[in-house]
Every structure is written in C-alpha cells, then in structure tokens.
Amino acid sequence: AQLLTAGQIIPIGAPGYLFVGGGYWLGVPCSVWIASVAVLATAVLVEGTALGLFIRAIGVNPVATRLVGLRSKALVFAVYGFSGLTAAMAGILISSNVRSADGNNAGLLLELDAILAVTLGGTSLLGGRFSLTGTVLGALIIQTLTYTTYSIGVPPEATLVVKAAVVLAVSVIQSPSARALAVSLFMQRGVAR
C-alpha cells in the first residue's frame, strides 16, 4: 500500500465507497451490516459444516489430522486466505470511514485488538478451541474499553498499556501451569476448611 501510494495519504471522494464505511441502511450503519453478514457466513461455514470440525482438529493436533487423511496444509492455507479476505474487508471499511487510503497508519496496532478479542472470547492460544460468538463479544468488549478510555481522557498510549495488560492476564489465565496452580490453591483452601 505504501508503494502504490508513494507513502502519501490519498483522499477518497467516491460517494458509493464512502457510503460503505460511513453510510446508513435502514437506520443501521452499513459497516454493521457488512460485519454481521461476515460473522453469519463464518458461523454457517464453521458451525454448520464439517469444516469447523476439521479446523478444530488441526488446531488440536495437526500431525494426527494429516495422518488420518485430512489435507491439513491446504485447510490451513484456506483458513489464512479467508482471514486475509476478512482483513481486506476491514481495510475497506476503515479507509471508507476515514475517507482516505493511508498505507502508513490505517490499521496500525489493531493486531493487538484482534488478539485480545479472540482470547477474551475464549479462543485457546494453544489451538483447537475457538468460539465465534465469544470472539464477537470480545471485540465488542475491546471497542467498549477503547471508547471508554478515550472518553474519560486517557491518552491513546495508556490505552495500549491497558490492552497489553489484559492480553497478558488472559494469556496467563489460559496457560496450563496457571490452571494447575489455581486448582492446587483451590484444593488446599478446600482441605483447610
């Protein structure tokens, strides 16, 4: 994007394109409609077909899935391709919303929000377990956290620290050693009573 724009911010003025990120249809922002369709299509693919089971199986043990005959490399490639498609959709929504193509700053540091949304939603960082509904709820929590910190006057740099602390806490909570420690502490408290 930086090469195509020569590092410049390119203003966008096409009304149809601007409608995608800033327009309303039936009183609801178009971006909400697009995100809803993307989530619904993903849910149908993952929950309504065997594809979801295959993806979960690869996340649990890619070697075993390859040995039972699943083309795990092709499936992982397809999942990354779908992820790229949804990232492109998000990029279109962002560029339409800010009315410019900015290869330097558009989407900068949003990967932290993405990681935080999926981990808050219950997706295991070790693989094999994910929840699309949880991820959507995690994304809504992250946006609420972001807008709340901005509205109370916290600088954007401090918001990144808060998000990083939440990612770290969720990662520690999801680790098997932290769970084992919590179980042993719970058992010790139960025995002490």
pLDDT band of 70, cuts 50, 70, 90? confident
pTM higher than 0.75, yes or no? no
Report residue 35: phi and psi, to 5°.
-65, -40
pLDDT score, position 192: 60
What is the model's pLDDT at position 128?
Answer: 67
- Whether pLDDT at 81 is above 90: yes
Q: In the predicted model, what is the mean pLDDT of the chain? A: 82
Task: Reply yes or no on whether the pLDDT at 193 is more than 70.
Answer: no
Domain boundaries, given as residue ranges, for the chain = 1-107, 109-193
C-alpha–C-alpha distance, residues 100 and 133, integer Å: 31
Residue 66 pLDDT class (50, 70, 90 cuts):
confident
Question: Tens of pLDDT along 13-64?
Answer: 888 888 888 888 898 888 889 999 999 999 998 888 888 888 877 876 777 7
